[in-house]
């Protein structure tokens, strides 16, 4: 199938400036030039467009023009050291690790205090919170380690020390990615966590939260299906959908 059959130039002109393209819009586009085209042929053309980088999938039946812009944070030596210590001590434990300074690229007002967040998995069958185990282990290796800190603890202790470590249970089915053999956050997980946890992410609330969301969607490809699925795991799907609409971000 050549580029003429895919109508690449026409697609670029037709959907230029749109923040989101739906499957139905692409289907109608191809049907306008070929009313007899089959659904299977439309799906094949869409797959070809994705492979060529003309469009990228951002959710179920949702696309954008151009190639996917991946959020790929830099894993520094401190993150690597902490992650490797945990892996050595607990080789079978799955956990996510990241640093709040990664949010700064989306913010206007830059926080002076940042911290490392570590989220070990939980074994619900055995009712085991491995976050408690990792918290106790890290306390023997590092200062200023906190387990599920509440608002008062954050205000009185966490905010007093730059680069504290916060340990939280990992929400099941959280969207993560692997970078240099370290499991860390995706853009979807990061912004949902900011939306859901006003205590941990106090510096990222209010107008700053709106800026973070808008900049995240502008700079990177955000998979809205993945975003909302994770928000549902955190029982905040409807609230997040309404928030995205208030920012005029299509969900």
Q: Map out the domains of the chain with their CATH numbers.
A: 3-65 (1.10.10.10), 77-246 (no CATH)
Q: How confident is the model at residue 125 (pLDDT cuts 50, 70, 90)?
A: low
Residue range 212-231: average pLDDT?
A: 93
Distance CA 92, CA 80 (A): 17
Find out whether 170 and 134 touch, Cβ atoms under 8 Å.
no
* Res. 240: pLDDT tops 90: yes
Q: What is the pLDDT of residue 124?
A: 59
Scanning 7-67, the segments in alpha helix (DSSP H) are 8-15, 23-33, 39-52
* Res. 128: pLDDT tops 80: no
* Res. 2: pLDDT tops 90: no
Pairing label, strands 164-167, 115-120: parallel
* Res. 246: pLDDT tops 80: yes
Distance CA 38, CA 56 (A): 22
Q: Is 181 left (phi over 0), alpha (psi -120 to 50) or beta?
A: left
pLDDT tens readout for residues 17-44: 887 899 999 999 999 989 999 999 999 9
Distance CA 122, CA 1 (A): 48
Burial of residue 176, with CB atoms counted within 10 A of its CB: 0-12 exposed, 13-18 middle, 19 or more buried: buried
Phi and psi (nearest 5°) for 191?
-75, -30
Q: Is 61 left (phi over 0), alpha (psi -120 to 50) or beta?
A: left
């Amino acid at each position: 199938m050549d580029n003429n059959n895919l109508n690449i130039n026409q697609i670029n002109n037709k959907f230029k400036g749109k923040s989101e393209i739906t499957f139905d819009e692409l289907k109608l586009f191809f049907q306008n030039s070929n009313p007899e085209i089959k659904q299977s042929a439309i799906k094949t053309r869409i797959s070809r467009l994705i492979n060529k980088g003309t469009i990228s999938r951002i959710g179920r039946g949702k696309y954008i023009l151009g190639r996917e812009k991946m959020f790929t944070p830099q894993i520094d030596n401190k993150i690597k050291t902490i992650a490797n210590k945990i892996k050595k001590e607990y080789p079978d434990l799955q956990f996510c690790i990241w640093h709040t300074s990664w949010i700064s690229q989306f913010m206007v007002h830059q926080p002076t205090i940042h911290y490392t967040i570590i989220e070990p998995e939980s074994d619900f069958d055995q009712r085991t919170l491995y976050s408690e185990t990792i918290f106790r282990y890290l306390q023997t290796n590092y200062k200023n380690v906190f387990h599920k800190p509440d608002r008062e603890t954050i205000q009185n202790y966490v905010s007093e020390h730059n680069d504290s470590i916060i340990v939280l249970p990992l929400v099941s089915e959280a969207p993560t990615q692997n970078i240099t053999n370290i499991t860390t956050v995706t853009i979807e997980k990061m912004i949902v966590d900011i939306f859901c946890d006003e205590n941990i992410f106090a510096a990222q609330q209010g107008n700053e939260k709106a800026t973070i969301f808008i900049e995240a969607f502008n700079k990177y490809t955000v998979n809205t299906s993945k975003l909302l699925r994770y928000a549902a795991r955190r029982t905040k799907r409807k609230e997040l959908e309404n928030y995205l609409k208030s920012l005029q971000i299509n969900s």
